[in-house]
Amino acid sequence: MSKIFYPNRDFSKKAKIKNMCEYNEICAEADDNYEAYWDKIAKEKIDWFKPYNKVLDEGNAPFYKWFIGGKLNITHQCIGRHLKNRKNKAAIIWEGEDGSRRIITYLLLYYRVNRLANLLKEKFGIKKGDRVVIYMPMIPEATFAMLACAKIGAIHSVVFGGFSAEALRDRIIDAGAKLVITADGAYRRGNPYLLKPIVDKALEEKCECVENVLMVQRNFEEVNLVQGRDHIYNDIIKNYSEFCKAEEMDSEDPLFLLYTSGSTGKPKGVQHSSAGYILWAQWTMENVFDVKENDTFWCTADVGWITGHTYIVYGPLAMGATTIMYEGVPLYPDAGRWWKMIEELRVNQFYTAPTAIRLLHKVGANEPVKYDLSSLKVLGTVGEPINPDAWMWYYETIGGGKCSIVDTWWQTETGGHIISPLPGATPIKPGAATFPLPGIKAEIIDKDGNPTPKGEKGLLCITKPWPSMIRTIWGDPDRFVKSYFGDCKKNGKPVYFSGDAAIYDEDGYIFITGRTDDVINVSGHRLGTAEIEGVIGHEEHVAEVAVVGRPDDIKGEDVFAYIVTKKDIDEATLIKNINILITKEIGPIAKAGSILIVPGLPKTRSGKIMRRILRTIAKGEKITQDISTIEDSSIVGTIEKIFKEQK
Ligand code: PRX
């Protein structure tokens, strides 16, 4: 049985939701009248240009619509409305890896965003509905770019700066982007690196949709500029007005696309809405992180992922909070960097991934004691299950035993938190995401909607629509329906299946156990095994390949590839070739940690690779599964033998 940790009493007294009675009451209110509940908070939280006339339209399920007829602009919610009382408050505190800092007040943010919005409109002719790809390092201009798009109704698609030219190209083409916003480069591990050449490479082929590239100069390294196509932000931004009228957006107008990996095929462009998304970003900031007016909030994610979207940019700014953005890596110049920043900037809420906690625990367990971390009130984790050891270190050493840890479970598709403790209310257990947030019907069920008995693994589903949910997959509505609403039903009606399995413990706490599909989670990054296999398959010596996730102490999971070769090649060369290819076509995050050359793969008679078996072998565990359906079952023993020999 896991130990329970109760919220700090003094903290609870001032918290937004103070105890489990209050939590239960809000849940009951939402259960009693779902639409009235959402109606109440949407009216209370959003500064509408024009009110909506209907809360939820389920007519074309699963293409749900929320707050129909309402008009708003997210930049008014995130900037404009704060100018009255917070114009000189820090909206963004940015720290470069070299220690330089920039403080962007709400007023300054307003001017910066307006200028860029005008530039996009006037110079590049970007209009409502156009797609803009943002491929940027962690600098404030990435945030300005996202918000400038939102101001004029363009749909942004941020591509993580660690993705390769090929991965960037695929996303640009799929989105049909007219403009790419990038930077010359930035700093990482103490050295300058370049991004612009990657954009140039991506645009070499099949990207006719892109008319212009806007480049921010960050490190002033020498880069190539294509005449007529490429423009330097620093040179031209001053020519544009600091005032710009916000486009009136419909509640359901897309705010952004964000590509994420699925179990099959190419990445999916997850499409989010305007009103529902911002409502939930703001509500969760206020209640899950319990952010107060003078708090300083730090989420260490990259803006290229959903966590960065919702909890560096949209959530904190919608709340009128101060958000920290850090350019570099946690180990530069040493493993105390983050703790030093917490001390110096008096961070109150700190949100990071278990992989970073494990890394900092391993390489710098003694660093935190050198710093004053007493400003911290709430600690958060996201992206993967957290092991009890890492949890305890986070709780005791970083939080001093007084901060609740909010283990937030959610996904690119959910827009914001779905299952999470509330820091002033929920008694927490190491490794448990605990309970669904009020108004969210997250349940562990079987395919037919029956609740899973306590202690048994089931499918994690969300059985009612919620405002910040994915609206569709860009350009592929059928895939949207199939990917998320094709597996599970409740009361005969398709419900959203997350792809994760989970367990209720004896007290009804939810523990996430991991993906049920062929998606792996490497350092909190979601990768499709099919995508990696596709790339490895291009290596000339490879006849067949199967990729699975293998548990890893720091990364959570690591890429493990089983390879059948068609030509003789030594293992070291093959590993090198494969990792060069993966880096080129996806990015270094997807590199294979281990490769095993095998004479064949276990397959069913219909030719399907039995990955469960391969996963078990990669973990070094004994096979207990039924192998009678394998066409040539002797291959299992052979692979096990090779695995043991290699170890
Ligand atoms: O498997 C779950 C895991 O991350 C997946 C979502 O990945 P992505 O869309 O990239 O978004 C990550 C950040 C929201 C989920 O399907 N995951 C996310 N949070 C947790 C988690 N696994 C366990 N515990 C969590 N708190």
Q: What is the pLDDT of residues 123-167, one digit of tens each?
A: 999 999 999 999 999 999 999 999 999 999 999 999 999 999 999
Identify the domain boundary among 329, 354, 375. 329
The candidate with the shortest Cα–Cα distance to 259, out of 470, 530, 442, is 470
Domain membership flag for residue 301:
yes
The candidate with the shortest Cα–Cα distance to 431, out of 505, 364, 368, is 505
What is the CA(410)–ligand 1 centre distance, in A?
5
Answer yes or no: is the C-beta of 382 below 6 A from any ligand 1 atom: yes
DSSP for 22-77 reads: HHHHHHHHHHH-HHHHHHHHHHHH---SB--SEEEE-TTTTS-EEEET-EE-HHHH
Q: Which two tokens stand for residue 61?
A: 């399920």
List all residues 6 or more positions away from 180 whose beta carbon is below 8 Å from its beta carbon.
132, 133, 134, 135, 172, 199, 203, 210, 212, 213, 214
What is the CA(514)–ligand 1 centre distance, in A?
8
Q: What distances in angstroms separate CA 357 from CA 92, 324, 332, one per listed residue?
A: 24, 18, 15
Domain membership flag for residue 565:
yes
CA-only gyration radius of the chain, Å: 24
Q: What is the mean pLDDT of the chain?
A: 96
361: three-class secondary structure by DSSP: helix
Answer yes or no: is the C-beta of 271 below 6 A from any ligand 1 atom: no
Longest Cα–Cα distance in the chain: 73
At 411 the pLDDT is 97
DSSP for 285-322 reads: HHHTS---TT-EEEE-S-TTSHHHIIIIIIHHHHHT-E
Total number of domains in the chain? 2
Q: Which two tokens stand for residue 169?
A: 């190209």
Domain membership flag for residue 635:
yes
The candidate with the shortest Cα–Cα distance to 644, out of 598, 605, 600, 611, is 598
571: three-class secondary structure by DSSP: helix
Answer yes or no: is the C-beta of 407 below 6 A from any ligand 1 atom: yes
Report the CATH number that the domain containing residue 119 is assigned in CATH: 3.40.50.12780
At 1 the pLDDT is 62
Q: Can you tell me the distance from the alpha carbon of 444 to that of 459, in angstroms, rounded to the nearest whole number? A: 5
For the CA of 413, the nearest atom of ligand 1: 9
Q: What is the pLDDT of residues 459-496, one digit of tens each?
A: 999 999 999 999 999 999 999 999 999 999 999 999 99
Q: Which two tokens stand for residue 94?
A: 């940015």
Identify the domain boundary among 290, 310, 329. 329
The candidate with the shortest Cα–Cα distance to 261, out of 559, 541, 599, is 559
Q: Can you tell me the distance from the alpha carbon of 78 to that of 507, in angstroms, rounded to the nearest whole number? A: 39
Report the CATH number that the domain containing residue 533 is assigned in CATH: 3.30.300.30
Q: What is the pLDDT of residues 607-644, one digit of tens each?
A: 888 888 999 999 999 888 788 888 888 999 999 999 99
More confident residue, 267 or 288: 288
What is the CA(480)–ligand 1 centre distance, in A?
19
CA atoms within 13 Å, Cβ hemisphere of 518: 18
Taking CA atoms only, the protein residue closest to ligand 1 atom 18 is 383
Model confidence at 538: pLDDT above 80: yes
At 408 the pLDDT is 98
Q: State the first-to-last Cα distance of the chain, in angstroms, to the nearest integer.
A: 34
At 233 the pLDDT is 98
Sign of the Cα torsion 600, 604, 607, 609 reads: negative
Model confidence at 20: pLDDT above 90: yes
Q: Which two tokens stand for residue 46?
A: 């959003």
Distance, CA of 453 to chain centre: 30
For the CA of 515, the nearest atom of ligand 1: 1
Q: Which helix (H) or strand (E) holds 603?
A: none
At 71 the pLDDT is 98
Sign of the Cα torsion 388, 393, 394, 395 reads: positive
Average pLDDT over residues 549-567: 93
Q: Are 470 and 42 in contact (CB under 8 A)?
A: no
What is the CA(411)–ligand 1 centre distance, in A?
5
Domain membership flag for residue 479:
no
Answer yes or no: is the C-beta of 412 below 6 A from any ligand 1 atom: yes
Answer yes or no: is the C-beta of 309 below 6 A from any ligand 1 atom: no
What's 264's DSSP letter?
Answer: S
Q: Which two tokens stand for residue 235?
A: 């040179």
Q: Are 156 and 274 in contact (CB under 8 A)?
A: no
Respond yes or no on whether the N-terminal peptide bond of residue 62 is cis (omega within 30° of 0): yes
What is the CA(532)–ligand 1 centre distance, in A?
19
Domain membership flag for residue 597:
yes
Model confidence at 264: pLDDT above 80: no
Q: Which of 409, 413, 487, 529 to mutate to test the pocket of ligand 1 (most atoms within 8 A of CB)?
A: 409
Domain membership flag for residue 530:
yes
Structural domain that includes position 143:
33-329
For the CA of 525, the nearest atom of ligand 1: 10
At 568 the pLDDT is 85
Return the number of other C-beta atoms located less than 10 Å from residue 579's C-beta: 18
List all residues 6 or more positions away from 289 whose beta carbon is below 8 Å from its beta carbon.
297, 311, 349, 351, 378, 380, 406, 423
Domain membership flag for residue 398:
no
DSSP β-ladder status, 457-462 and 493-504: antiparallel
Identify the domain boundary among 329, 345, 377. 329
What is the CA(543)–ligand 1 centre distance, in A?
33
Answer yes or no: is the C-beta of 301 below 6 A from any ligand 1 atom: no
Q: Which long-range contacts (CB under 8 A, 24 or more apart) does 606-612 make?
A: 609/546, 611/518, 611/529, 611/546, 611/548
For the CA of 498, the nearest atom of ligand 1: 16
What is the CA(378)–ligand 1 centre distance, in A?
19
Answer yes or no: is the C-beta of 307 below 6 A from any ligand 1 atom: yes
Average pLDDT over residues 17-36: 98
Model confidence at 168: pLDDT above 70: yes
Respond yes or no on whether the N-terminal peptide bond of residue 602 is cis (omega within 30° of 0): no
Q: Determine if the pTM surpasses 0.85.
A: yes
Domain membership flag for residue 353:
no
152: three-class secondary structure by DSSP: helix
